[in-house]
Structure 1
Amino acid sequence: MVNVRRRAALLVAMIPLAACGARVAEEPEAATVTVPRCGEDVEYTTPERAVAYEGGSADKLFALGLTEHVHGYVMPPANPPVEESPWAAEYAKVEFLGDDLLNKEVVVEANADLVVAGWRSGFSDERGITPEILDGLGIQSFMHTESCYNYPNHPERVTPFEALFTDLERLGRIFGVEDRARQVVADLKDRVEKVKSQVPQGDPVPVFLYDSGTDQPFTAGNQVPPNEIISFAGGRNIFADLDERWTQVGWESVVRAQPEVIIILDYGDQPAQEKIDFLKTSPTTATLPAVVNDRFHILDYNEGISGPRNVDGLEGFADYLRELPR
């Protein structure tokens, strides 16, 4: 079991006293709670200077009413402007720390005591910022459960929406707001069940999620929220059999599947209309049923990555499918 803050305290305690016989009053040890970080049990103390990477991480903290515990956020260019967020007022109360990928330097400079991000979508071996590295610096870390299915040594496999609920409950325990977390999760689950109860009759509509890419497209496998946004709303992700998160496929496999609806993931730095224009003009995709019938649905970036806005994305796509002629 990892105890990050206690490890840092022990390092300080090992420094010799400056004067022989000096007596130092010991500070009471901070209360800790054991919460899984992917498949590993970790002891946390209540964070006071949390740093969030991307909108999904910050949204989870803000949804739980934890703004006072958040020091700031790192928001890459792909993320749409925070002013468009339901929690825009909360973003305005904390510090903007950068518009690049997450890195160790910005976290250390912020004097963070918790970093919230996903594995391989924030934390990264290549960029030198992993939970293990932060453990060694006495900085706590929390990873989105949705990203844990292939986390080295401590994987955890949970379906994407259940992973969202798990994260909110675990963060509630870490920050001591369990009752608030239970209420937030209950409200989100009620909204999901309402959508499921209104699924249109008939066979699920084949749906292709277009993330990006022209030579080869990036799309959603079964380990990310759009897979369940599609299925809960009454569609069928044409790549639901791919045991991946965001992954590259070939256009030939898209053509074979003949999607009747295409979801466009709308990035902050790559407008959805540019992607639609490409699909309409490319000879490979121009004859797809979804393109011929102009059946495009725009999914906001923060509705597609793990966060409370997944449920907004589900409701919006469900409304779209219900309005399609059958």
Structure 2
Amino acid sequence: MRPRPLFGLAVATALLVTGCSGGADGAAKSTDTKASSDPAAFPVTVADCAGRETVFDAAPQRIVASNASSLEMLLRLGAGDRVIGTGFPPGKGTLPPEIAEAGAKVPVLGAMVIPKEKLLGSGADLYVDTFGEMGGMGVTPSDQEYRAAGIKRAFLRSTACAATATGPVQDLVGVQSDIRSLGRVTGTAARAEALVAEMEQKTGAVRTALSGLAADRRPGYFFFDFDAGTKQPMAVGNRQVANGVITLAGARNVFADVDADFRPVSWEEVVARDPDWIQLGVRNRGSEAETRAAYEEAEKFLREFPATRDLKAVRGGHFVRVGSELTTIAGTRNADTVRQIAAAVHPDLVKDAR
């Protein structure tokens, strides 16, 4: 679930999750949530969105995750035994089976954004921050308050810093950098490399399958953030992780000319760009049935709303149902989203969406 960034996030209910299919390839699939940190790998220095540096002299032992995406990263990195709490907890059945049991044991400190007082009083020595200083994300602690509580922060910069990115995002390099950075901070760098290798294997297969794809065969693609509301659509711009996902999948974000992560647009603008495909941007509702119902509601709106019912995508029934969280938030399963979108829009070239 960003400064509006994250418009619809505020109306989501505890549901910033990361995923569809579980990681099925490579060593990163380990079910062991414990991993010993290497003291020789420290100190480690990381930066926030403004470039201010934080130094870690040793691996943190009491970690709080801001949302399900960062929680999943920590679990898959092998640092799950050190996680003492999370915000935006994963919906039921959304974590991959190999880490679901460990994830269910993590205390929920906030159904959405963790309340300031609870985060500062958690006893954490690390807060993995997916959101940064995003508008609409509630009252967050100041830098001084974090320091006073003894909490250092590691940012998932590809999401938290998207609004200030310096150029279009056209791949998952930023997400992979986040995984590597968190791996260094937690002393699990080797596991991080395995996760990145798994992602590269998946996206590489798609890249190979689409290698001969001409530019004019890239269909126009609109990410419809249903949870942000239907009165005024919220477009995904070229600074967002989703732009990289869509590009890697062989599609063309119809709002790729927007130099921002998100921007409110009008339905007239959407109609003028007449996408070939529309992703129904729905956040996990906590159960398969409720999430499926939300997809149905989003599609029904597009089919019945006068401004959208005659769009090419709507007339052709070209809808993609992949969770918002897996598309717009840095996570270990963004690569799975690339495969799913590619298989939907290029079924003749990409056969396997698993």
1:255 aligns with 2:268: no
TM-score (norm 1): 0.81
Separation in 2 of the partners of 1:278 and 1:232? 28
Report the counterpart of residue 300 of structure 1 in structure 2.
323
Report the counterpart of residue 216 of structure 1 in structure 2.
232
Report the counterpart of residue 282 of structure 1 in structure 2.
305
> Could you say which structure has the higher strand fraction?
1
Deviation at 1:101, TM superposition (A): 1.9
1:118-163 Cα shifts (integer Å, max 9, x gaps): 2357797861335554134321111111122446xxx777836111
Pick one of 176, 179, 189 that aligns with 1:165: 176
Deviation at 1:56, TM superposition (A): 1.4
Separation in 1 of the partners of 2:108 and 2:137? 24
1:56 aligns with 2:69: yes
Deviation at 1:254, TM superposition (A): 0.5
Alignment of 1:12-31 (within 5 A): none
The verdict on how the C-alpha distance between 1:125 and 1:198 changes in structure 2, with shifts beyond 3 A counting, is closer
**What SS does the corresponding residue of 2:320 show, helix, strand or coil?**
strand
Alignment of 1:131-210 (within 5 A): 131=143, 133-146=145-158, 147-150=160-163, 159=169, 161-199=172-210, 201-202=213-214, 203=216, 204-210=218-224
Contact 1:205 1:236 in 2 (8 A): yes
1:322 aligns with 2:334: no
Separation in 2 of the partners of 1:53 and 1:161? 21
Separation in 1 of the partners of 2:130 and 2:108? 19
Report the counterpart of residue 260 of structure 2 in structure 1.
244
1:244-288 Cα shifts (integer Å, max 9, x gaps): 223311111100001010011121347122111111100000000
Contact 1:211 1:217 in 2 (8 A): yes
Report the counterpart of residue 20 of structure 1 in structure 2.
none
Higher relative contact order (CA 8 A, sep 6+): 2
Matched letter for residue 248 of structure 1: P
The verdict on how the C-alpha distance between 1:205 and 1:158 changes in structure 2, with shifts beyond 3 A counting, is closer
Aligned length in residues: 289
The verdict on how the C-alpha distance between 1:149 and 1:135 changes in structure 2, with shifts beyond 3 A counting, is farther
Larger Rg, first or second structure (1 or 2): 1
Separation in 2 of the partners of 1:142 and 1:101? 16
Report the counterpart of residue 10 of structure 1 in structure 2.
none
Give ranges in structure 2 of 5+ residues lacking alignment.
1-41, 286-290, 350-354
Report the counterpart of residue 309 of structure 1 in structure 2.
333
Matched letter for residue 61 of structure 1: L
Matched letter for residue 253 of structure 1: E
The verdict on how the C-alpha distance between 1:156 and 1:221 changes in structure 2, with shifts beyond 3 A counting, is closer
1:93 aligns with 2:93: no
Contact 1:73 1:98 in 2 (8 A): yes
Deviation at 1:82, TM superposition (A): 4.3
Contact 2:132 2:161 in 1 (8 A): no
Separation in 1 of the partners of 2:162 and 2:321? 27
TM-score (norm 2): 0.75
Q: Among all aligned residue pairs of Structure 1 and Structure 2, give the percentage whose two residues are the same amino acid.
A: 29
Matched letter for residue 187 of structure 1: E
Contact 1:123 1:130 in 2 (8 A): no
Matched letter for residue 206 of structure 1: G
CA RMSD of aligned residues (A): 2.5
More off after superposition, 54-63 vs 277-286: 54-63
Matched letter for residue 303 of structure 1: L
Matched letter for residue 224 of structure 1: Q
